């Protein structure tokens, strides 16, 4: 049985772009039903009565411009994934779009039917995964609210602590296995959390905070560490001295795992499991901050684009293309130093941050190592094929004022490598044509 077509809404006021995207979708391998509107207002009216699986949203419309357009649509229909369409390649805008609810950011003159189909497919899958994680988080919070927390009551005069049976059970112990000393709690705190937790407790006992609230890890009887939320309030006596503190104890291990899953989805590419554009940009910003403190600090950005990747998708299918991308990412990783940072930033585009170079020649050596690694054929779909890549190199000492400028410089050098015959690297020169 053929898959049910995805209902897409294209919000675009340029008739030429509407025709172009209709043609892309018609010639792609996906099953889509497309409607279109030319304004934010018309879009929102349609969404009130027509269910949609995804919105393709231009950022420049008669009644909306830039991020305000995205925020308006996302706020009205947060349950529908959005892909941004724009005529400008603006890294900062792309990042802000993703932070404000967009699933992808496509530059119109770089889009073809294959890229559009892949972007739609990934956006819907990624959005559904986010939705599932959020539902699980809400379900967990309801369960936690309906369950009994552990209770503790610390007499600071006698230095004895009452731990409830539930408190002990959460750590895997029976009543008779836990004594009444504070060490039963404190000795189980993870070494990395100890200074912070004792500091938070001391601050409250000094009456410098209204409540003691601390998230930290404790060792369980089974040898693992679990995350707990400890909350308490002190009672103060003569001369404002603390005489007692009592509170609750909640296992938040599942909640912490969900937080980690959400962070991974936000910062990692689901196909290659490599960091995505957002995480790469944060690392690049830190490198620029280091550069402001140390004039001698040198780093570089590599911009890689596979040569002829569209041919693989068209002749072997998207599954083969995905397999190749994952293998390509793995090969790239083996060519880098432990301090280097690899990211997938687009369909078949990758960025590498080469950190703390001793001299510019190190970047060239790594680029040559990458090209050498591709001399071994890729195997998929019962066949073998050689794949090459074009690499652009840009150094941090090239007077780039913003991190976006360095990425654009590397991108420009990569384009020069493609123009020169592909399967090679080019180093960005300040005066080379753009």
Per-residue pLDDT tens over the stretch 40-92: 999 999 999 988 999 999 988 999 888 889 999 999 999 899 999 988 877 78
Q: Is the pLDDT of residue 370 over 60?
A: yes
CATH label, 6-143, candidates 3.40.50.300, 3.40.50.2300, 3.40.50.12160, 3.90.230.10: 3.40.50.2300
Q: Provide the percentage of residues in the chain whose pLDDT is more than 90.
A: 48
Q: Where in the chain is the domain with CATH 3.40.50.2300?
A: 6-143
Position 115 confidence tier, pLDDT thresholds 50, 70, 90: confident
pLDDT at 141: 46
Position 236 confidence tier, pLDDT thresholds 50, 70, 90: very high
Q: Is the pLDDT of residue 414 over 90?
A: yes
Q: Provide the percentage of residues in the chain whose pLDDT is more than 70.
A: 92
Homologous superfamily of 147-257 in CATH? PAS domain (3.30.450.20)
Neighbour count for residue 172 (Cβ, 10 Å): 14
| 411 among known catalytic residues | no
The single residue of 348, 356, 405, 411 carrying the catalytic annotation is: 348
Q: Between 385 and 199, name the one with better pLDDT.
A: 199
Distances in whole angstroms, Cα of residue 323 to Cα of each of 276, 326, 327, 380: 18, 5, 6, 7
Are the beta carbons of 252 and 269 closer than 8 angstroms? no
End-to-end CA distance of the chain: 49
pLDDT at 155: 93
pLDDT at 206: 94
pTM: 0.47
pLDDT tens digits, one per residue of 266-320:
678 878 888 888 889 989 999 998 988 888 899 999 999 999 888 888 888 878 8
Q: Where in the chain is the domain with CATH 3.30.450.20?
A: 147-257
Whole-number average pLDDT of the chain: 87
Are the beta carbons of 26 and 15 closer than 8 angstroms? no
Q: Where in the chain is the domain with CATH 3.30.70.270?
A: 268-427
Q: How is domain 268-427 classified at the architecture level of CATH?
A: 2-Layer Sandwich (3.30)
Position 144 confidence tier, pLDDT thresholds 50, 70, 90: very low
């Amino acid at each position: 049985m053929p898959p049910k077509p995805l209902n897409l809404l294209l919000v675009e006021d340029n008739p030429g772009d509407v025709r172009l995207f209709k043609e892309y979708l018609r010639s792609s391998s996906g099953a889509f039903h497309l409607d279109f509107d030319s304004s934010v207002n018309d879009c929102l009216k349609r969404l009130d009565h027509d269910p949609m699986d995804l919105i393709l949203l231009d950022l420049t419309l008669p009644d909306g411009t830039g991020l305000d357009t995205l925020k308006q649509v996302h706020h009205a229909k947060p349950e529908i994934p959005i892909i941004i369409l724009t005529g400008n390649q603006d890294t900062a805008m792309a990042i802000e779009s993703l932070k404000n609810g967009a699933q992808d950011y496509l530059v119109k003159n770089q889009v073809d039917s294959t890229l559009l189909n892949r972007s739609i497919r990934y956006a819907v899958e990624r959005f559904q995964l986010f939705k599932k994680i959020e539902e699980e988080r809400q379900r967990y919070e309801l369960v936690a609210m309906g369950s009994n927390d552990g209770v503790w009551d610390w007499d600071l005069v006698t230095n004895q602590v009452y731990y409830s049976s539930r408190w002990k059970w959460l750590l895997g112990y029976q009543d008779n296995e836990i004594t009444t000393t504070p060490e039963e709690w404190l000795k189980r705190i993870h070494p990395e959390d100890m200074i912070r937790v004792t500091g938070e407790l001391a601050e409250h006992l000094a009456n410098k905070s209204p409540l003691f609230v601390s998230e930290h890890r404790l060792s369980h009887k089974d040898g693992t560490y679990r995350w707990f939320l400890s909350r308490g309030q002190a009672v103060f006596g003569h001369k404002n001295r603390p005489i007692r503190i009592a509170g609750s104890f909640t296992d938040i291990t599942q909640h912490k795992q969900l937080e980690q899953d959400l962070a991974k989805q936000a910062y990692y590419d689901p196909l290659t499991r490599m960091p995505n554009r957002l995480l790469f940009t944060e690392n690049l910003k830190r490198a620029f901050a280091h550069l402001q403190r140390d004039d001698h600090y040198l780093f570089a950005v590599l911009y890689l684009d596979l040569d002829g990747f569209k041919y693989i998708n068209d002749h072997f299918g998207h599954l083969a293309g995905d397999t190749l991308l994952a293998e390509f990412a793995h090969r790239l990783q083996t060519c880098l130093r432990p301090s280097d940072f690899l990211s997938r930033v687009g369909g078949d585009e990758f960025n590498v941050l080469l950190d703390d170079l001793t001299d510019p020649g190190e970047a060239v050596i790594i680029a040559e190592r990458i090209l050498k690694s591709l001399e071994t054929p890729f195997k998929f779909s019962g066949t073998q094929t050689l794949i090459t890549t074009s690499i652009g190199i840009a150094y941090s000492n090239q007077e780039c004022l913003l991190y976006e400028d360095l990425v654009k410089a590397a991108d420009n050098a990569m384009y020069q490598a493609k123009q020169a015959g592909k399967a090679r690297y080019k180093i960005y020169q300040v005066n080379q044509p753009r």
